[in-house]
Structure formats: structure tokens, C-alpha cells
Structure 1
Amino acid sequence: MRLRTLLGDHPGTAALKNGSIKSDLVAFDFVDYSPTNKGFKPMVREGAFDVSEMAIVTYLMAKSFGKPMVLLPNVVVARFQHEYALYNAKFGTLIPCDLNNRRVGIRSFTTTTGAWLRGILANDYRVDLSSIHWVTFEEAHVAEFRDTTARAPAGKQIIDMLLEGELDAVLGEKVEHPGLKPLFPDAASEENVWFARHGVLPINHMAVVRRSLSEKNPEIVREVHRLLVESAKTSPAAPRFSTDEMHRSLELIIQYTAQQGLIPRAFDVDELFDDVTRIS
């Protein structure tokens, strides 16, 4: 069976994409989106692929609206988030607790990095997210979501607005510029403290399949999962999660996503999978 597939170029996907990992059951027709997240919208809105990389918050939101996708227990991208928050030091020093009542830019309010960072700010630094004036630049991948944030003026770029003083801080960005400073001054140290408290490596992207594929061809879905596992094993840089570690990370991002009103309720982790893909 040939599967139309969206997978970015990551350490854990390289062997599958270059053909080093093969299967007698399936072949992959890889589609090219740059960056890969540009393909999430057609997957959510049109079911454009049989197999797709997917931001975990996009998947949670898609599930809340009944989109016909099923999560696979394969982590594609995972990272700590603290270094993806910046402010402009030209206008004074900022630390996380200073964000209340400020203007904060983010590419889309529904990005996974944004959801992780807002969860960290609210739960670990007592930031009142409702006091912040959020400025966004893109719509959500899930069309049904009602975005109440302020949209940046047409043609404006997020980093330019930060440099010009039109934003006080931005989330989800990591750029080298002499005037821009990290909101968390020692991100590595903050990440270590946060990990010691929560025992979680934040998941950004996982893999999903069309629900109909899982219902009609479960052996194909199991083979896709196996191939992704085998591909990840070939790279020491690929994310590695035990079942318990994956469960903890998913549980926390579900909590954050529900707190922020991106989904109407907190799912149980088991609900994200079906009988073919469920982790045990």
C-alpha cells in the first residue's frame, strides 16, 4: 500500500525518508512542505495525507472538533521551550513575571510552543495570561476554533514589531540579534529546574494517521508505527520516550491546552489513541 505522507526532515525520520528503512507492506509518497507545519492545515481541514507529522496541540484541538485522525505513539520533535521567548532590551529589562498587562506577540495563539510557554508562565511564574494583550499573525490550523486575539496589521513581521517597540515580548521565536534578550535569562538552568519539578520533556510533534486507515487497515498502521520506531533507532539525536515519559508529557500539555481554552475539556491520554495505536 502506498501512503501519501507528510514528514519533516528530522533525525528520527531520516532513515525512513532516505529509504534505509524499508517495508514489504507499505511504501511512502512523501510530500514536501517547507516548513513542515504548513502541511498541518491541509491535514486537519482536508485529510490531505494518510500519515502526517502533527503538532500535538493541533491534534488535541482537531480531536475536540471530531476530525478523523488517530495519534500514533511516535514522537517526532521534542524539546525544552524556555529559550523560545524574547524581549527587546532597548526598552528595559523584562523577566517572566513582568509580562502581566504587556503586549506579547506569537505567530498563532494555537502553536504548540506557545501553549507550552504559556503553561510554564502561568503555572510556574504566576503570570496572569488573561491580562496579556496577545497579538497574532496567523490563523489556527483548525478552522472551527474561534480566535479572539488581536491580529497584527497586514504585512507586519513579528520580530520587526518587537524591534520597533510595538511588542514587549514574543513567544515561539529564537533569533540572534544584539538588541534581543531571552525572557528567561539562563534558559538552560530554568529548564533543569522545570524538569526536576515536572519530570517532563515537552513534546512538540507526533505522528497521526487517517482514522479510516486505522479502521480498515490496522496492520498497515502498526507497520507505520514500527517503521517510525526503527527509523528513530538509527539516530542518537532522535527523541526517545518510554511509555511513562510520553504519558507524562501528553498529560501536561493536555492540562495546559485545556487551561488556555484551546480545547473544551482535558482528555485522558488514552483517548488520544484508538485500539490499534493505544500505548499501554
Structure 2
Amino acid sequence: MIRELAFDLSELAIVSYLIARDFDKPLVLLPATMTGRFPHARALYNAERGRFGPADLTGKRVAVRSLTTTTAVWLRGMLANDHGVDLDRIDWVTLEDPHVAEYRDRATRAPAGRTIISMLLDGEVDAVLGETSDDPRLQPLFADPKSASEAWFRKHTVVPINHVAVVAREFHDDAPESVRETYRLLKRSSELSLPRDRMPFGVEAMRPALQMVIAYATQQKLISRQFSVEELFSDLTLSLA
């Protein structure tokens, strides 16, 4: 979607959209959340090598699929702002290119053929962000992820947004009624889902999470400046309710 504009409508990770917006890609955000989740269970370490927690990350090697993956951005933001972790004192290791080709990854690239979990099991990295595993040797960096998620929500009253809906600018400009109908259908689908599966729809409902992920992405130098929420939308998509 970002590199080839192959679709009129797409689900997209919010951080990928922020970086695409920073590089003026012809995409427009709909005020529709596709997925959101607390990421605390998706930070792992190898318990065979001793107990490890957020405070132990300084000076260590930590792997992520890409610096720009949304779950990793949320986790790094939480580590920095809620646990005082200095992200600049971590040796970041990545395995994939960012979705936006123009963005230059500053991390160390893992050797070809390695997987993020195998690197953790073999001691090549000390922790990984954005992953889950059934291997009993791998334990969550947050000792009780459920309690950590609940405490974070009590503090911030934000549910992290992961994926959103976007439309190509050409489709947006040529078929505004289709954009409105697309949003209506997505919203109606959400309304018909189970309550626990409902995601925030509308600019105001999404605003707290968008403001926070924009701040995290700016802090982590993934985007060049801190956008306002309104800048992520068009006049048309701002008007959708």
C-alpha cells in the first residue's frame, strides 16, 4: 500500500502511516481503528540466563522486527516514559526493512537467516519486543503483563491503537461518497461486534491514543516533527462521525 499504492483501501499500522505521512505519501487516514491492544505481554527475555526486567535493559542488545513496528514503538514509549529506560543506551537489532522505504533504519541488522526468537534463545540478544512465544524458557519482561497493562490504563486511560484504515489519495479525491460509505460500513461492523472487540471510531475517540503514539514516534525520531491529530486526516475524513 505504501510503496506501490496498490489498493484504494487498506488496513495499515498506525506508525507506518505516521512515517508515510512524514514523507508525504498520498494516503489519507480514516478515523477507524481496526486493532488495538496492550503490548506488555509482547516483550520477552530468556529466563535461563537469569531474571531480567525493564530496569536491566540499559546497555543491552534488544531485537525488534523493525524499529518502526507499531507494537515495538508503544513498548519503547512505555519503557522510556513510565520506567525511565534510556532508549539511546540500548543496542537495537532489527531483522526487517521499514515499510516506508525512504526511512533509514539506525539499528544493527541481524545476520541473514536468523529469527528473532532464535537469537533470543541463543543469547545473541538480551530481550525482544513485539513478539510472543510458547517456549517456557522465554518469559515476559513485565513480570505480570495483565497487571502491568491494567496499571498503565489506570494511569493513562488510553488503549494503544495498532492498525487503522487508510485510503489512497486518488480514491479519496475521486470518490468521496465511496469514502464516506466505506467508513459507515466499517463503523457499523464495529458496532455489531462483541463489546470487548469494539475499537474507537471517530477522531475524538481516537485522539488520546493518536496523540500518544505521535509523541512516542517523535521522541524515538521516527518522524521529523510532532503532528497534530488533525494533520493526519483530510477535511473529508475529519468530518466523518
Give the TM-score normalised by structure 2: 0.96
**Cα distance between partner residues in 2 of 1:209 and 1:105:** 31
Q: What is the number of residues matched between the two proteins?
A: 238
**Cα distance between partner residues in 2 of 1:226 and 1:130:** 43
Q: How much does 1:116 deviate?
A: 0.2
Q: How much does 1:245 deviate?
A: 3.5
Which of 142, 151, 163 is the aligned partner of 2:121? 163
Q: How much does 1:242 deviate?
A: 5.7
> Counterpart in 2 of 1:87?
45
> Counterpart in 2 of 1:122?
80
Unmatched runs of 5 consecutive residues or more in structure 2:
none
> Counterpart in 2 of 1:264?
224
Structure 2 matches for 1:184-223, cutoff 5 A? Answer: 184-223=142-181
CA RMSD of aligned residues (A): 1.1
Q: Which runs of 4+ in 1 moved over 6 A?
A: none
Query: The residue matched to 2:236 in structure 1 has which SS?
Result: coil
Which of 105, 122, 127 is the aligned partner of 1:147? 105
Map Cα deviations across residues 43-89 of structure 1 (whole Å, 9 max, x no partner).
10110100000000000000000000000011001000111000001
**Cα distance between partner residues in 2 of 1:171 and 1:216:** 40
Q: How much does 1:214 deviate?
A: 1.4
Structure 2 matches for 1:21-100, cutoff 5 A? Answer: 43-100=1-58
1:248 is aligned to 2:213: no
Unmatched runs of 5 consecutive residues or more in structure 1:
1-42
Map Cα deviations across residues 106-140 of structure 1 (whole Å, 9 max, x no partner).
11111000100000000000000001001100000
Map Cα deviations across residues 165-222 of structure 1 (whole Å, 9 max, x no partner).
1110000001111111100001111111111111100000000001111112111100
Give the TM-score normalised by structure 1: 0.83
Asked whether the equivalents of residues 76 and 238 of structure 1 are also in contact (C-alpha less than 8 Å), the reply is: no
**Cα distance between partner residues in 2 of 1:218 and 1:107:** 36
**Cα distance between partner residues in 1 of 2:17 and 2:201:** 21
1:238 is aligned to 2:197: yes
Asked whether the equivalents of residues 74 and 225 of structure 1 are also in contact (C-alpha less than 8 Å), the reply is: yes
